A and B are shown apart, each in its own frame.
Chain A
């Protein structure tokens, strides 16, 4: 079964707007992480939220986690053209175990 499915698959917004991406998963997790991937590059870790946390902030990023619904959301506020990238959620069953990635959301921020 697919773990970590993102929604929407693609999102196009104007600079300054907020971008919200959602992620659903199927099994129990220890933590959920969000990564960014610029075209042709590796993944960059953005933020980690543990299963006992409900919300976390880092700069312009806000992540929520609802373990009862097995879902998470990533909010990027005041988006910039440089935020254009693919965003992936990834889940880990235990600390240090392998990550299971979703298919990603392609975000385009138009200047």
Chain B
């Protein structure tokens, strides 16, 4: 059973471009969470999704950020018109409905130049 897969591992975007981060949860996991980590800091919650539903998006910036977890395919975190402040590591985690602990991917490191 492969772990949580995130791609790409590293992403460089120029200011104003769009960034798309993908997350394939572990098999059988229907809950997906996205977190952002700035250097030397802890993880900050962004959004919690189940298949085709956003359950909690209280950590998502109101503009430019969106997330989806379609019926088929990976979860996508989309950042439009990126700015330097979006540079961070973005982690995806998944869990099955009956487990509380989360399983994390290796993260996508976004650099905005």
Q: Which residues does A use to contact B, with CB under 8 Å?
A: 4, 30-31, 33, 35, 41-45, 48, 88, 90, 92, 95-104
Q: Which residues does B use to contact A, with CB under 8 Å?
A: 4, 31, 33, 35, 41-45, 48, 56, 59, 91, 93, 95, 97, 99-107
**Count: A-B pairs, CB below 8 Å:** 58
Q: B residues within 8 A CB of A90?
A: 43
Counting chain A CB atoms within 10 Å of each CB, the highest count among B45, B95, B102 belongs to B102
Query: How long is the Cα–Cα vector from A99 to B31 in the complex, in angstroms?
Result: 13
The interface residues of chain A, by DSSP majority, are classed as strand
Query: How long is the Cα–Cα vector from A90 to B100 in the complex, in angstroms?
Result: 12
Query: How long is the Cα–Cα vector from A59 to B20 in the complex, in angstroms?
Result: 39
Contact at B41–A103, with CB atoms within 8 Å?
yes
Contact at A45–B45, with CB atoms within 8 Å?
no
Contact at A99–B33, with CB atoms within 8 Å?
yes
Instruction: Kindly provide the distance from the CB of B60 to the nearest chain A CB, expressed in whole angstroms.
Output: 12
Instruction: Kindly provide the distance from the CB of B53 to the nearest chain A CB, expressed in whole angstroms.
Output: 14
Q: B residues within 8 A CB of A92?
A: 100
- Known contacts A42-B107, A96-B31: A101-B100 contact under CB 8 Å: no
Counting chain B CB atoms within 10 Å of each CB, the highest count among A4, A35, A48 belongs to A35
Q: A residues within 8 A CB of B103?
A: 45
Contact at B105–A42, with CB atoms within 8 Å?
yes
Interface residue from B41, B95, B97, B104 paired with A44 (Cβ < 8 Å): B104
